[in-house]
Amino acid sequence: MRSGMIWPGRRQARARRPVAAASPWLVLAIVSSALFLIVIDMTILYTALPRLTRDLGASSAEKLWIVNAYSLVVAGLLPGAGALGDRYGHRRLFLWGLLIFALASLVAGFAPTAEVLIGSRALLALGAAAMMPTTLSLIRQSFDDPEARALAIGIWASIASGGAAIGPLLGGVLLEHFHWGSVFLVNLPVVALTLPLALRYVPRGEAEEGEGHPFDPLGSLQVLAGLIGLTLAIKEMAKPAPSLAWVLVPGLVGAAALWLFLRRQRRSVAPMLDLALFRDRRFSAAVIGAVAAAAALLGIELVVSQRLQLVEALSPMQAGLAILPLPLGAFVAGPLAGLALSRTGASRMLMWSLALVAAGALLYRADLGGAAEGPGALRLGSFIAMGAGLGAAMTAASTAIMQHAPAARAGMAASVEEVSYELGGALGIALLGSVMSAAYTAAVLGAPGTLPAGAADSLDRARVLAEALPAERGEDLLRVAMAAFDRSVSLVMLVAAGILGGAALWILQLSRRGAGPQRSH
């Protein structure tokens, strides 16, 4: 009798029914549809947040958890999900993830209270964590030809990077016509189409019998606690006035949990995370690239989207349209990078892609002086450069991670890749958001004249204060505050370019040292 979960319903008859042979490109289309839902759900909520918090009467703490519950639970569950995919089969986990995601979307769309919405966001994350590593594993399993596989991963990466960037635009469009619940209910038609196609055409794979990959519940709890603790500490550091206790306590607990997890993995005969993967320097370089690319994508998007709305006074939908060249650049560059990988090599592609994103950040910085008068060539070029660089970088990183891991560790490698993106995004938002906040406050406090108390907290607060002042004083305050915000954005772009350039040089050094030794358990 087969061990483990059986999908779904009757055990033997349904579990052993043959799956129709399908083109690997159809499999790619199926898993990419699910991936698009996952990455869209990370950012689509931003435009709906003001309306849903007002309708649900959510407190500031509940509002924070509505946003954070998804990314925290996804980051914590990914390593365990990869191990489950290697044990029980990636197709089976993908199907269960789709079902959970659909159920959670339905609950979230009609959530009557903030508490229900927070719980449904955590359930959404459970479905997303089940699907995310399986999407890459199923691509690797379906494509035998290395060049075709690289192109497929390029398409996957373009959807991952471009989809996250297009989320706010889709949310803005939906909110123009529908209730805030539509940002969740839009998932249901996609699941209704994807689920029967996946049942019929996605192959079962060799790991379906579950041999040789014992699941480690304690290890999963350790990595879950570790990543949630560190993510909470990072998010607290991103606040204008962080609490030292909320930085140190979750940070230390998270670091201790991850240390225990790593020690457990080193001693395990069949680890959930084989640390020998990192002995291959090409694998390590790809992980560094994935972290840097995700940090740049989410950190820069956060800063730019705020500037478009707070300085240029664009609506959420207008801001999404203004930033559209970035996701379009990623959509185009991802597949093209996949086609070129066999000639350039993943490490070289990754290095130059990160350098291109850095150049795009510097271009946007150069355009800040005239951007308020309307979109110019520099800003358009900066968005295209950043989008193209991010799409190519994620393609190169994902391809290298999957190619430099044994086939039996495909789910594990995919989980490492996804965790790299999750943590990179959290680091980017925390670091670049903190730089923006600190630079703005310093610029306002250093401005000549007497400004109202609280104007240095944020540009949002300065706008509220300006409305209560006489017209001339209000205009003066807004002029000082917006100039300070532009200076803070300028510094953010400089820091982002420095981080990306440093990551590119680090990858160059690792690639020059060669692959390095490997061992397996």
pLDDT in single tens digits along all 521 residues of the chain:
333 333 344 444 444 444 555 688 888 888 888 888 888 877 777 667 667 777 887 765 676 677 767 777 777 777 777 777 777 777 888 889 999 999 999 999 898 888 899 899 889 988 988 888 788 778 877 787 777 887 888 788 778 777 776 777 787 778 778 888 888 898 899 899 988 988 888 776 554 444 445 567 788 788 778 877 887 787 677 666 678 888 899 999 999 998 998 898 888 877 777 777 788 788 888 888 888 888 887 788 778 877 887 788 777 777 778 888 888 888 888 788 877 877 888 788 888 999 999 999 999 988 886 544 445 788 889 999 998 998 888 888 888 887 776 766 766 777 777 778 777 777 777 778 778 877 888 888 777 777 777 777 777 778 778 888 788 888 888 888 888 888 989 999 999 999 999 999 988 887 776 555 444 44
Same domain, 120 and 148: yes
pLDDT of residue 253: 95
Q: Considering the domain boundaries, does residue 123 fall inside one?
A: yes
pLDDT of residue 134: 81
Q: Distance between CA 20 and CA 74 in Å, rounded?
A: 31
| Distance of alpha carbon 450 from alpha carbon 220, whole angstroms | 54
300 lies in some domain: yes
CB 483 within 8 A of CB 443: yes
Domain contains 199:
yes
One domain, residues 396 and 518: yes
Q: Residues 251, 190: one domain? A: no
> By CB neighbour count within 10 A (0-12 exposed, 13-18 middle, 19+ buried), where does 32 fall?
buried
Which of 181, 180, 431, 184 lies closest to 302 in space, CA to CA?
Answer: 431
Q: What tokens does 312 get?
A: 């240029």
Does 6 map to a domain?
A: no
First-to-last C-alpha distance (Å) of the chain: 27
In a domain, 1, yes or no: no
For residue 47, what pLDDT is reported?
Answer: 64
Q: Residue 4 has what pLDDT? A: 37
DSSP assignment string, 9-70: SSHHHHHTSPPPP--HHHHHHHHHHHHHHHHHHHHTHHHHHHHHHHHHT--HHHHHHHHHHH
Q: What is the pLDDT of residue 371?
A: 45
Q: Are residues 184 and 330 in the same domain?
A: no
Asked if residue 316 and residue 374 are part of one domain, the reply reads yes
> Which letter does DSSP use for residue 180 in this model?
T
3-state helix, strand, coil in the chain (%, to 5): 80, 0, 20
Residues 295 and 392 in one domain: yes
266 and 352 fall within a common domain: no
The pLDDT of residue 105: 92
Same domain, 129 and 194: yes
CATH number at 472 reads 1.20.1250.20
Count of domains observed in the chain: 3
Domain boundary among the residues 224, 246, 270 is at 270
Residues 160 and 298 in one domain: no
DSSP state letter for 315: -
221 close to 190: Cβ distance less than 8 angstroms:
no
- pLDDT at residue 248, rounded to an integer: 92
297 and 233 within one domain? no
185 C-beta neighbours (distance < 10 Å), count: 16
Same-domain pairing of 506 and 398: yes
b/e per residue 92-131 (b: at least 16 CB within 10 A): bbbbbbbebbbbbbbbbbebeebeebbbbbbbbbbbbbbb
**Do 244 and 261 lie in a common domain?**
yes
Domain end (from 175, 204, 233): 204
In a domain, 85, yes or no: yes
Token pair of 296 as six digits: 């740049």
For 314-409, where are the alpha helices, taking DSSP H only?
A: 316-322, 325-344, 346-367, 377-403
Q: Is the pTM of this model over 0.95?
A: no
**Boundaries of domain holding 228:** 216-270
Rg, Å, the chain Cα set: 23
- Does residue 8 lie in a domain region? no
Q: What are residue 215's phi and psi, to 5 degrees?
A: -80, 140
Residues 96, 7 contacting (CB under 8 angstroms) = yes
**Domain-located, residue 4:** no
pLDDT, position 215: 63
